[in-house]
Amino acid sequence: MLVRPSGAIVPCLALAILTSGCKSARAPRLASGHDERAVSLVIANVPVAAEYFEPRQAGSRPAVVLLYGSGGMVGAAPAYRWYARSLADSGVTTIICPYFEASHGRERRNAANTRIWVKAVQDCVTFLGKQPHTDKRRIGILGFSMGGYLGMSAIPHEPRVHAFVDFFGPRPELRASDWAKFPPSLILHGRDDRSVGVSNSRELDRNLTAAKVRHELVLYPAQGHGFREPAAGDAHRRTVEFFVKNLAQPQ
């Protein structure tokens, strides 16, 4: 389903994923209702440290694995942390999964690395599910660009994922039966994206529609591989609201 963007305008560039045209901005800090710390875990058999954002309220909580794009945490780290902080302040524990470290580098996608990175994603899901305040029945994935590709690649093998948001990710080649395993999904893409063509999200929309998966496609006019205002603020709002709504109750 195609939805036209609307919503609040927030300071530009702070939310511009991949900081396209917005390199001087810093993401604004929320009034913190969460704690941040480094956590140690093992992904794809490699010990790593990851950034962990945890709400302060007591009780069982949903959680999200955030997957950065092909640039890793270089340059766009403030934007990724802005999403993680926003989710944590909304009651959703978030981990930024450092999947590049599982292959000891930031090489471009290839068959060998993709297998390693998908395993890293699954191990981040496992880590979240073992945390004392995480409801393992309420875990989601948020993927940006290549992170979206990896999220889509992992989901058919990962029934613990119950919500998915994709920012302009390349669509993997999956079987029809694999698309039917997807949870409720939100797809966000710029119509003028020259790095990952919008045809990827249109085809993803068709695949999920054919599989009768509940989902939403939002295409932003005059936006490329990274959003400026007002699209940046709209995408941010939709993402947080989507996870809060779809992870509100055990699936």
pLDDT in tens, 191-231: 999 999 999 999 999 999 999 999 999 999 999 999 999 99
pLDDT band with cut points at 50, 70 and 90 for residue 250: low
Residue 66 scores a pLDDT above 60: yes
Q: What is the pLDDT of residue 231?
A: 95
Q: Distance (Å, rounded) from C-alpha 36 to C-alpha 49?
A: 13
Averaged pLDDT score across all residues of the chain: 87
pLDDT band with cut points at 50, 70 and 90 for residue 251: low
Q: What is the pLDDT of residue 106?
A: 66
Is the CB of residue 127 less than 8 Å from the CB of residue 95?
yes
Per-residue pLDDT tens for 99-110?
A: 999 987 766 777
Residue 24 scores a pLDDT above 50: no
Residue 190 — left, alpha, or beta (φ > 0 → left; ψ -120 to 50 → alpha)? beta
